[in-house]
Amino acid sequence: MKKMFLLLIMISAATFSFANTPVSEKVLKIFREVYPNVENAKWYENENSYEVYFEKDDVKCRIRYDIGGKLLSTTRYYSENTLAPFLRVKVAQKFKGKKVFGITELTTEDQLFYEIILEDDKHWYHVHSDGLGQMTLAQKLNKSEK
């Protein structure tokens, strides 16, 4: 009897959690059309938007939609290997001897922006770039000594 009661509670909880998905069906449909094979997507509801987090092909992604399903922005986090070849060459030319630590790519309707974190033995470098490779050193930080 206890097992049956526990099973009933678990089924009810699972049904309740799926029934209360915070994302509208319209937004889920739009997302699934573009990313049909994404598993383990995590959805969050904000005051005027939805955000979904997932990982695909070693790239961490965050996508924001408005309540009606309009795409607001995408943010991707990845390594040097995923960076567009044009930008990889530009970084290598402008910041010789620096190693790429990580990249954040932000896309909106009117902007494509990269924050590229570089490092060497003594410093961290935060580089801002647009999609055309116009780069500026935003910040240079000292690494702490070990």
Position 18 in a domain? no
Q: What is the pLDDT of residue 21?
A: 55
56 contacts: CB under 8 Å, gap ≥ 6: 35, 37, 38
Q: What is the pLDDT of residue 2?
A: 45
Q: What angle do CA 25, 51, 57 make, to 5 degrees?
A: 100
Position 102 in a domain? yes
Position 88 in a domain? yes
pTM of the model: 0.79
Q: What tens digit of pLDDT does each residue of 82-93 get?
A: 999 999 999 999
Q: Which domain holds residue 88?
A: 26-142
Position 17 in a domain? no
Q: What is the pLDDT of residue 138?
A: 96
Instruction: Kindly state the average pLDDT of the residues 62-80.
Output: 95
Instruction: Kindly state the average pLDDT of the residues 30-49.
Output: 92
The strand ranges marked E within 14-98 are: 42-45, 49-56, 59-66, 71-78
- 63: CATH: 3.10.450.360
Position 3 in a domain? no
Q: What is the pLDDT of residue 17?
A: 37
**Is it the case that residue 44 has pLDDT exceeding 70?**
yes
Position 104 in a domain? yes
Q: What is the pLDDT of residue 6?
A: 39
**Is it the case that residue 15 has pLDDT exceeding 90?**
no
Instruction: Kindly state the average pLDDT of the residues 52-65.
Output: 95
CA distance 51 to 36: 17
